[in-house]
Structure 1
Amino acid sequence: MPKFKMTRLNSLILKKTLLSGVFLISILYTHSQQILKGKIIDSESGTPIANVIVKNVQNNTTSTSNNLGLFEFQNTGFYNFSKAGYEEKEIEISKAEYIIIQLEISPSNLNEVIVSTNHIAQKLKKSNTTIDLITTKDIERGNTTNVLDILNRVPSIFMQSGALNTNKISIRGIGSRNLYGTSKIRAYFQDIPLTSGNGETSIEDFELGSISRFEIIKGAGSSIYGAGLGGTIHLIPQNAYLNQTSIQSDISFGSFGLMKGVLNVNHGTTKNSFRAIYSNTHSDGYRANNEYNRKTFTINTNHFISNKDDITLLASFVNLKGFIPSSINETNYLNNPKSAAFTWAQSKGYEDSKRGILGVSWNHQYNSNIKQATSIFSSFKKAYEPRPFDILTENTNAIGIRSRILGTINKLNWTLGGELFKDTYKSRNFENLYQSYPAGTGSVKGDKFADLKEKRTYYNLFFETNYNTSEKTTVSLGLNFNKTSYNLYDKFLTDENPDQSGSYSFKGMLSPKLGISHLFTENISFYSNVSHGFSPPSTAETLLPEGLINPNIKPETGWNFEVGTRSTFFNNRLQLNLALYKMAVKNLLVARRTGNDQFIGVNAGKTQHNGLEMVVKYQWIQHETVSLNHYISYTLNDFKFKEFVDNETDFSGNKLTGVPSEVLNTGIDFETKFGVYTTVNYQFVGSIPITDNNSLFTKDYSLTNTKIGYKHSINSKLKLNAYFGLDNVFNKHYASQILINATGFGGAAPRYYYPGNPTNYYTGINIIYMF
């Protein structure tokens, strides 16, 4: 072949090769320059996080997430996500697909955290209501068997616990006069109401390992949760994490036969995640007739269908059997605190219940300014409770829907929505024949003497706005309308028992709220609000002694006034939260005793609730190898009966029953890079009025709890945490719960006291394996 032909051929091959290379490079360049999109959310609440700095680690280019948490970036690679109030996160993005980034809150700077208790997402420091956060770290500070110590570290919250299944919570004195259980305080598990149509709330049965944090609104400060007088406790379940798979196991045991196991499984892809948590808890209890067994199962799934739609499914089941030692008289309290009340011990009284909740939530983003969130939920409870005076069977089934629209118009953020709740409650009472059988037999079911069915309905319509009058000032206006009604059907009719059937519908209740917050500097904020709240009576409180419905009973209502500040100093090393409030309550509901463990409700007057709340946190040492943090929370209560006349006895001017005069919590948290950590907590509780005439008070007491542990990463996939804790270190004798205004029958001394546990320990090991 001629030489020039070979040269021409080589030239053509070279030209084609160059063209192919340029084409390939252009394809690769176009692909690398593809605009990739993602969304940043709070890992616990799922709330979008705005103004997160997204930084490409290789070339240091940055972008910022918008008000919907959305961001865009070019090129795959390593990216860093950072925002004040959240832990920094660095991940590798290797695929050109829509991605969800979850950030975890940083306990060291909670004022910057986005809270969602009012649905309108905003920084905690800009809120115009007193809101307290209990983080995962706070939950892990002590034992994870009882929520008591966790809640009692929050100012103005006072939880009493006579046993693991006998508890009562009050907030700012509201709920303190409820004799058994928690009332006049609303609670939600995500968007699912935990408060029954009867106004009763139970949160202590939930496995603490399934909860990532609590958001607590104190007082009638929330127009979107029914404007309850006491406030709202919002439980945020542990979310399912995307892009990771893990198994976590926690095994612990301790005093009084405590044994507990928790299994936590998480699996997540880029858009779907699933978490399942199982727990099994057993305790013999400190006192007689005090055995406790509980099994729980919780499922939480998240599905991000698109950048506009996501669906969450939440389910929880609790199977509980707990024996009831009940309260004892002063002699036994001082000399034989391990004893149970005689009749409860003889009848072997207990509570056997199964309860479950199921909810599906759908979030849809119509555009950058309008979003809708809708939840459909259902719940059930089935209980069998032998008591000395009868045997009670209960069945409750509830269903409801909660929906709201959230919008943004320039400087105005608003939400509009409603909640409809219906439940059906069936109860039957049987004679307890234990006294007719040999000692040790326990409860024996006899003839039925009551059979009731209640249909309870309420709905809330709510509206709330936040208007930013400037970059530093936000004004909030809220309105709630509630309508509550009961229908009672008596299914046990005899000549001796009057027909209790009837209907009762309370007048519609309109509750407004007005609040303002102002940032004096970036680190110092001030807030104030005026709000109205109410608490309807339970069905039992609407019944007269002869079993007929009392048409004259009214809900408790009140106005709340408060001012407060949230401040940080010395580069966020010092945090100070302070609040002063005044609340006036009228139509006070009083439980008037009509027999042994039998009561009716009456409106008996007015109460005045004045108080101070303070939280101080200081980082003494914050180093790569060592950290030392100190916290103080303090509550000062001045609660009185303003007007209170019951059975012609005037208690006006006396101190409100069932609330301590003051509560102080202080403690330190010490951690090292090497894995060793310890925490010490000291709590002081002031004296508590036991009787309305203030003739009897509890003695003040102090408790010290401590925990020490060691965390170690065996490798990149396996982590362990071994711990040992000691509660009531100095073996203080105290009443962990009291029964106010107790009355002795048949010559017996009144039973006021539930003895607290003496010195007790727990120890365990937590293992996490990452796939």
Structure 2
Amino acid sequence: MFTSFRIYLSDIVPVRRGGSLPSSFCTNLIRLVAALCLLIIPAFALSQQMPQDTVKALSEVTVQAFGQHRTQATAIVTTIDYTSRSNKMSLVNDLNAVPGVRMEERSPGSYRINMRGSSLRSPFGVRNVKVYWNNLPFTDPGGNTYFNQLAFNNFSSIELFKGPVASMYGAGTGGLILINNDIKQNSSASLEYIGGSYNLQTVLASANWNVGRLSSKVTYAHNGSDGFREQSKLRRDNVSWTSVFNINKKQKLSASLLSTDMYYQTPGALTLKEFEANPRAARPAAGTFPSAMDARAAIFQKNFLAGITYTNNISSVFSNVTSIYGAYTSLKNSAVRNYETRNEPHFGGRTAFRFNKKLNETFSIDWNTGAEVQQGNFNIAVRGNRNGQPDTLQTNDDVNTLLYNLFTQATLSQSSKWFYTAGIGYNKSRLKFNRLSDTPGLQQPFAFSSELAPRFTVMRKFSNDLSLLASVAKGFSPPTVAELLPSTGVINTNLNAERGWNYELTIRKYLLSSKLYMEATGFYFDLENALVQLRDETGADYFVNAGRNRQKGLELSASYIFLPTEQSFIKYGSVKGGYSYNNFMYKYFSGVNGDFSGNRLPGVPRSTLALATDMHFKRGIYINSTYYGASSIFLNDANTVSAKPYHLITAKLGYDFCIKKIGLNLYVGADNLLNENYSLGNDINAVGGRFYNAALRRNYYAGAVIQFGQKAKLL
């Protein structure tokens, strides 16, 4: 294990074979050492202030994913709270700190989320990852998630689960994200402003109030930036409302609303020569296609989501949670190749019953069962693009999609030492395309075979500080609407659903009176009919089934919490780290472009390393710093092109204080302190060598928070 770590960490700081060093190695080494000192020295300073007394064990916390408790969870779930070490324009830095998770930003507002390799299916947007917001389905029935509609104050915590989730959350092999927007118990209001490089402008406002049995929360967010590159401006306005009415001691009704209006430009990918010469440039004209600026390449997007959730604790052992929702997306995409418009209304619901009872002195059972259904009626029209305006109609499709799943899961615990979980989900997906632009109209139905997706886990708690968890789960994921109808405009009738078995083993350990937590997970995912994105000679994407993938990996994480004595000037501190090793291969993949069997999957770094240090002083000063490094990334199936390794450093310094009942928080920060020239969100299997989307170079920001009703939190 440690030998592999040493070898593949060298991909992040490369050393040439034969003993010679690249000319830039000394400079990079000095930068990296300085960065690590920035992270480690504060931790060392904190450790000198540590008390000798013990720390009480963390209390049991409910984890919504798979409906369990953290101390007894038979699923590995990572939680991100409402904090950030960056400028709050996006969640990239926060999600990338989680081993096995990679969020990419092709341009401001254009995101992809890769959980153990799932971005192979995502040239644009977030696919094959199930997302819920306040228990409402956030992923539409077409398989797409508009993750970019979220603002930073739309959540209080985010739970992430990596791997197949079809046993409880419908079809999907890429993972699960549960976004919670809880209401504070005390009435309060806050206003935050952030300004920074490239005309960064962010406003975050929120208010919580409680009247009798009714609690409500309203948020507003504005994000704006001119962008680092040409043709990369962003404007996003977001409003959310959450309310909870406690009918009585056993029943409550929750309502949630989210509305976003955004516009962002898309600069397009560059060749390596263009990327190195001027990373700030937008895609130039090439062949018959105009430049991104001449095409006025941009996205105009409006999203609306509303739903209610009814919770009924029927008895001390039996309860039900039922949600229904409706959503609508209007999107216009002025692209280099064409002009696309989408109107996507959809609705659905989810219900889950839970039975939790202690059977006797030895055994207890926790049983969850329910169903989820979603229906969508989309219209997708593609026209020519004449200087950013829609031109001649090319295709016009009505898309009707229906998916549903039935699930049940039971966990049997024995003497609070052994925990056995067995769950199974039944998943069904139906789609129908009606091409209105053809005469006569063409109808193309799809009905993917019903799939049973089981999941089994066994956990052994040797003590409150040590546990071992083994799991086996089957994943099933049919093609999304965007894969069946890609940018080629040709309805793909040859695609099949991908499916496979995932095997995991996790060990969790607390040390030093529970101040140090360590976790290690090894996994093997054998995936058949994996969906892979290719591009034709015009640069339009399409998808094929790639035979079989073999995805093996190791994920390590650790965290250390500092709780100094009363006499210390340090209030709180922590050090966290995460490492991922990904050995993802095409077991066999032979197609029209060649035989890639045995090659690595593109778009996934072989290894990543993340470190974070937080220091909070009693006088209100706090310091956050992070490091993130990624090894080289292959950019095509042939493994002939790759993006170089890169290292990112962030730092933030703030001061939190109170004036009577008003809390104030002032801070300054910087991202990409090493001023790395790197690409985040590469175009996989690009035509003409256009793989690279340049990310932000070194940038700075400053912010201020004013909070009424209670002292401002360290943000």
TM-score (norm 1): 0.81
Tell me, yes or no, if the aligned pair for 1:240 and 1:268 is still in contact at 8 Å. no
Q: Secondary structure at the match of 1:175?
A: helix
* One-letter identity of the residue aligned with 2:108: L
Any residues of structure 2 matched to 1:691-706 within 5 Å, and which?
A: 691-706=636-651
Q: State the partner residue of 1:233.
A: 177
* One-letter identity of the residue aligned with 1:688: I
Q: State the partner residue of 2:526.
A: 584
Q: Does 1:161 align with 2:105?
A: yes
Q: State the partner residue of 2:127.
A: 183
Q: State the partner residue of 1:452.
A: 397
Q: State the partner residue of 2:384.
A: 431
Q: Report Cα offsets for 1:471-508 as digits up to 9, x if no partner.
A: 211111110011001011111124xxx85422111011
Q: Secondary structure at the match of 1:204?
A: helix
Distance 1:157 1:671 in 2: 27
Q: Give 1:593's match in structure 2, choosing from 535, 541, 544.
A: 535
Any residues of structure 2 matched to 1:153-302 within 5 Å, and which?
A: 153-221=97-165, 223-237=167-181, 239-242=182-185, 244-302=186-244
Q: State the partner residue of 1:505.
A: 447
* One-letter identity of the residue aligned with 1:317: S
Any residues of structure 2 matched to 1:29-428 within 5 Å, and which?
A: 112-119=60-67, 121-122=68-69, 124-136=70-82, 139-221=83-165, 223-237=167-181, 239-242=182-185, 244-342=186-284, 343-409=291-357, 410=359, 411-428=364-381
Tell me, yes or no, if the aligned pair for 1:418 and 1:459 is still in contact at 8 Å. yes
Q: In structure 2, do the counterparts of structure 1 residues 670 and 290 end up closer, same or farther at CA, with 3 Å as the change threshold? A: same
* One-letter identity of the residue aligned with 1:135: D
Any residues of structure 2 matched to 1:646-657 within 5 Å, and which?
A: 646-647=591-592, 649-657=594-602
Any residues of structure 2 matched to 1:553-632 within 5 Å, and which?
A: 553-620=495-562, 622-624=564-566, 625-626=569-570, 627-632=572-577
Q: Report Cα offsets for 1:525-564 as digits up to 9, x if no partner.
A: 1111000011111234335999775554210111000010
Q: In structure 2, do the counterparts of structure 1 residues 363 and 544 end up closer, same or farther at CA, with 3 Å as the change threshold? A: closer
Tell me, yes or no, if the aligned pair for 2:126 and 2:145 is still in contact at 8 Å. yes
Distance 1:547 1:264 in 2: 43
Distance 2:461 2:514 in 1: 16
Shift of the alpha carbon at 1:639? 0.6
Shift of the alpha carbon at 1:221? 4.6
* One-letter identity of the residue aligned with 1:241: K
Q: State the partner residue of 2:702.
A: 763
Tell me, yes or no, if the aligned pair for 1:258 and 1:284 is still in contact at 8 Å. yes
Distance 1:426 1:543 in 2: 12
Tell me, yes or no, if the aligned pair for 1:183 and 1:201 is still in contact at 8 Å. yes
Q: Secondary structure at the match of 1:359?
A: strand
* One-letter identity of the residue aligned with 1:334: E
Tell me, yes or no, if the aligned pair for 1:472 and 1:520 is still in contact at 8 Å. yes
Distance 2:225 2:493 in 1: 45
* One-letter identity of the residue aligned with 2:316: S
Q: Give 1:637's match in structure 2, choosing from 556, 568, 582.
A: 582
Distance 1:294 1:479 in 2: 40
Q: In structure 2, do the counterparts of structure 1 residues 662 and 140 end up closer, same or farther at CA, with 3 Å as the change threshold? A: same
Aligned-pair identity (%) = 26
TM-score (norm 2): 0.87
Tell me, yes or no, if the aligned pair for 1:667 and 1:682 is still in contact at 8 Å. yes
Distance 2:158 2:295 in 1: 38
Distance 2:110 2:100 in 1: 20
Tell me, yes or no, if the aligned pair for 2:536 and 2:687 is still in contact at 8 Å. no
Any residues of structure 2 matched to 1:663-674 within 5 Å, and which?
A: 663-674=608-619
Distance 1:738 1:108 in 2: 45
Q: Secondary structure at the match of 2:274?
A: helix
Q: State the partner residue of 1:25.
A: none
Between Structure 1 and Structure 2, whose CA radius of gyration is higher? 1
Shift of the alpha carbon at 1:174? 2.0
Greater shift after overlay, 167-176 or 109-118?
A: 109-118
Q: Give 1:685's match in structure 2, choosing from 604, 608, 630.
A: 630
Distance 1:285 1:550 in 2: 36
Distance 2:167 2:386 in 1: 48
Structure 2 gap segments, 5+ residues each: 1-54, 285-290, 711-715
Tell me, yes or no, if the aligned pair for 1:126 and 1:525 is still in contact at 8 Å. no
Q: State the partner residue of 1:675.
A: 620
Q: In structure 2, do the counterparts of structure 1 residues 768 and 112 end up closer, same or farther at CA, with 3 Å as the change threshold? A: same
Q: State the partner residue of 2:433.
A: 488
Distance 2:485 2:655 in 1: 56
Q: In structure 2, do the counterparts of structure 1 residues 539 and 629 end up closer, same or farther at CA, with 3 Å as the change threshold? A: closer
* One-letter identity of the residue aligned with 1:207: A
Tell me, yes or no, if the aligned pair for 1:127 and 1:527 is still in contact at 8 Å. no
Tell me, yes or no, if the aligned pair for 2:110 and 2:148 is still in contact at 8 Å. no
Distance 2:464 2:534 in 1: 52
* One-letter identity of the residue aligned with 1:741: N
Q: In structure 2, do the counterparts of structure 1 residues 194 and 766 end up closer, same or farther at CA, with 3 Å as the change threshold? A: same
Distance 2:619 2:90 in 1: 29
Structure 1 gap segments, 5+ residues each: 1-106, 435-442, 745-749
Distance 1:642 1:145 in 2: 39
Q: Report Cα offsets for 1:436-486 as digits up to 9, x if no partner.
A: xxxxxxx13212221111011100100011111222111111100110010
Shift of the alpha carbon at 1:178? 2.4
Tell me, yes or no, if the aligned pair for 1:530 and 1:560 is still in contact at 8 Å. yes
Q: Secondary structure at the match of 1:507?
A: strand
Distance 1:381 1:108 in 2: 48
Tell me, yes or no, if the aligned pair for 1:489 and 1:502 is still in contact at 8 Å. yes
Shift of the alpha carbon at 1:241? 2.7
Distance 2:633 2:377 in 1: 37
Shift of the alpha carbon at 1:205? 2.3
Shift of the alpha carbon at 1:404? 1.2
Shift of the alpha carbon at 1:732? 1.1
* One-letter identity of the residue aligned with 1:696: V
Shift of the alpha carbon at 1:204? 3.0
Distance 1:763 1:532 in 2: 47
* One-letter identity of the residue aligned with 1:758: R
Q: Does 1:754 align with 2:696?
A: no
* One-letter identity of the residue aligned with 2:410: T
Distance 2:332 2:619 in 1: 50
Tell me, yes or no, if the aligned pair for 2:99 and 2:580 is still in contact at 8 Å. yes
Distance 1:180 1:384 in 2: 14
What is the total number of aligned residue pairs between the two structures?
A: 642
Q: Report Cα offsets for 1:106-147 as digits up to 9, x if no partner.
A: x9977842211113x32x2322222111122xx333321111
